[in-house]
A and B are shown apart, each in its own frame.
Chain A
């Protein structure tokens, strides 16, 4: 029997047991000794661990440039899907026993131009390449959705430099008819075929369906987390919420689910901070993620009630159907119930209008727009977004950022100025 004073150990073990009961997965595991070792965090946290301890563990994992969870998985013979932002149907890889890793959420990796890139490029493309180039992270399969012009260059650059396979995923931009859904199902089938090739496993309907159920649960827990943040933003700062969400990019969804299940009740009991802060929606973080220091700087003057941080992990807004062909179900969900980001054309809705709705829905006072440097799709929408907000009487503030920045004085200056002018300067006299 396992020592049950270790929460992490428990859910690690349960995860492993879940895997072991699935005969298809057994080959991933070598000796039974691994049963008694914590698999992911590389450390144990007692079951009466405080929320702060859990957050600290998440922070450690996210800031560990050695990718301990991924390394450990690979050492045990597991295969890893590395994928680029924003959305990739991780279910397909997960069903084949792969650990899906969303690249570009961590702080590691060099964002310098390096030898392989020119100067006018966003950090996230450079960082993802440098992770592999420096040998920090070598996924067994690399998938890039065709989200932007810079990212679309990555597969060729990747294949010239590394032997591990890579593939572009052409997600449709013209999701207006049945044709797009049929096409996407084919595209997913192509992706599944590559996954099978890499893992040596044929994907059956049942296993994909099981994975969809796990991810449905994950998405529902994340929705709960965000609902709590919107309801009681004093209980959960934006940087903390980011930590809890972002570790999902490095864990199996089962394990991320366990973490969220532990954390949500603790958050409900947490004392809410009572401070003079403005309620804002944070947007512009759909691909490149602002560094933690920047989120902390924002949290010092703002209660973030809604955001698009790691929107790809929450891309599908409802449950994916567990009936019928699972790839068709995933394709249907993509075409009919997606979130919005500037890399996805939507014939029915425009980002600027959606943002205004979002502000109203969450009772926010203002919007902080983080604009990633050199990000074409994000920056192209800046003017329409600000115009729509201004028209709706919603104040907004734009801060440029890049993942590798280490100095947040300018961000702080802007957000503080923005917030103090909404909070104080107007009313009293």
Chain B
């Protein structure tokens, strides 16, 4: 990457730091926050009630990048948590068992937890908090696609039944928030938050579209991670809107520069499917970038933004109903991008003109990883694009063997180079 999107990276770091600091301050003042997950976080609703939002997944991946995760995992395992469970969950539990104290910050206790069925582990995870803190837990049923061949669409009777159930649950969640805060929902505040998310999502979508063309403007795993962090932590806020509009502007400038000064050797355009390798975050990306690879697109952006990067536009005139419908559609999009990845990758790799597809399955996350090997087979049956399947973890350094990983990556690039020299068959 000749012109990295530096500004977006720095601004993201600043914003996430201030998010952490606000939570730290809250913890110091014995305040509490709502715990929710990135897929179906209900951020706009919580914002309308001014309930601070804590996203444990983001906190966990930060501990993996900083190296603090290993101690948390070890601590949880010593309490009997098995080695085979989601390591996000395990590190989080380790943190709670150590008094919500990390080397650089403290975290507030939960006043409410929201776990959608986008990932079933969310529920098990939240049940553990419930045992620790006895706070209200709202389990949010979000029915996904029943038949991979025929997803129901708005207008179908089946969709109407799901939507009715969603709306009813949203109303119940609103009553719960009203109970917790002692105030009524202000529909205007909800509308405003939804409007912010509308603008963020639309911009995010444009940014992703930019990378579909050549030359690519950003690495979807490296810079993509920064975009995701802000999207999730600042959903429904003006700060989020500003960040994304700056980020888009930066990418447009990078694109102009790249067109004027093209790279000596065009990078290998790669599509990433799966989850990042957070314990070796930079090293993992470098294993590709030093060989001339650039991730132009990533399925991670789709599900880890809770489907938000599709740019769904809420109808701010009827905020509650539209919130329910948006939650159903975006979360279903997130679920489809995991469970139905295999059916969508062929179009995705064609759309981003990929030279190769990298699948990274992790032990921690069966939601995303279970289907990857088959998705790869399905892609291979339709296309001759080179693929690489790696397995490691997103949290636990012990599960990662960099020597093995680099060897496989080297072999993959030997294939990509051979193809480029000989012209793809």
Contacts and interface: CB of A to CB of B under 8 A. Distances in A.
Interface stretch (A204-212, A272-280, A376-384, A419-427): A376-384
Size bracket, chain B contacts: 35 or more
19 contacts: A117-B370, A118-B370, A118-B372, A118-B391, A119-B391, A120-B84, A153-B366, A156-B341, A157-B342, A160-B342, A167-B146, A168-B146, A170-B146, A182-B164, A183-B165, A186-B158, A187-B161, A376-B121, A384-B128
B327 to A, nearest CB: 14
A159 interface: yes
Interface string B130-152: 01000001111101111111000
Contacts of B127: 345, 350, 380, 384
A72 interface: no
Contact of B124 (A150, A169, A376): A376
A392 interface: no
Contact of B169 (A153, A179, A342, A375): A179
A125 to B, nearest CB: 7
Interface in A168-210: 168-170, 172-174, 176-177, 179-180, 182-183, 186-187, 190, 194
A120 B374 contact: no
A223 B46 CA distance: 46
A388 B81 CA distance: 15
Interface in A370-421: 371, 373-377, 379-384, 386
B121 A120 contact: no
A148 interface: yes
Nearest to A352: B131
B378 interface: yes
B367 A149 contact: yes
Contact of B141 (A116, A147, A165, A180): A180
B86 A115 contact: no
Given A118-B372, A350-B127, A159 B148 contact: yes
Contact of B117 (A117, A146, A374, A380): A146
Interface in B342-372: 342-343, 361-363, 365-367, 369-372
A152 interface: yes
Contacts of B391: 118-120
A380 B89 contact: yes
Given A118-B369, A379-B82, A152 B141 contact: no
A181 to B, nearest CB: 10
Nearest to B89: A380
Contacts of B82: 371, 379, 382
Interface in A284-308: none
Given A152-B144, A173-B139, A380-B86, 5 more contacts: A120-B391, A146-B117, A174-B141, A380-B125, A383-B79
A391 B341 CA distance: 44
B108 to A, nearest CB: 23
A156 B343 contact: yes
Nearest to A149: B367
A347 interface: yes
A89 to B, nearest CB: 15
B287 interface: no
B176 to A, nearest CB: 11
B374 A116 contact: yes
Nearest to B76: A383
A172 B366 contact: no
B150 to A, nearest CB: 10
A155 interface: yes
A61 to B, nearest CB: 30
Contacts of A183: 141, 143, 161-162, 164-165
A360 B365 CA distance: 36
Nearest to B369: A118
A113 B140 CA distance: 33
A357 interface: no
A267 interface: no
A38 to B, nearest CB: 37
A159 B131 CA distance: 39
B172 interface: yes
B120 A179 contact: no
B377 interface: yes
A156 B144 CA distance: 12
Contacts of A381: 124
A153 B373 contact: no
Contacts of A382: 80-82
Nearest to A385: B80
B300 interface: no
B374 A117 contact: yes
B119 interface: yes
A157 B128 contact: no
A168 B366 contact: no
A26 interface: no
Interface string B223-242: 00000000000000000000
B39 to A, nearest CB: 12
Given A350-B131, A377-B120, A383-B81, A160 B370 contact: no
A353 to B, nearest CB: 10
Contacts of A148: 120, 366
Contacts of B119: 149
- Most interface-central of A150, A170, A376 (chain B CB within 10 A): A376
Contacts of A371: 82
B366 A376 contact: yes
Interface string A294-333: 0000000000000000000000000000000000000000
Contacts of B141: 170, 172-174, 180, 183
A120 B366 contact: yes
B296 interface: no
Contacts of A347: 137, 139
A260 interface: no
A164 to B, nearest CB: 12
B165 A179 contact: yes
A380 B121 contact: yes
A117 B363 CA distance: 12
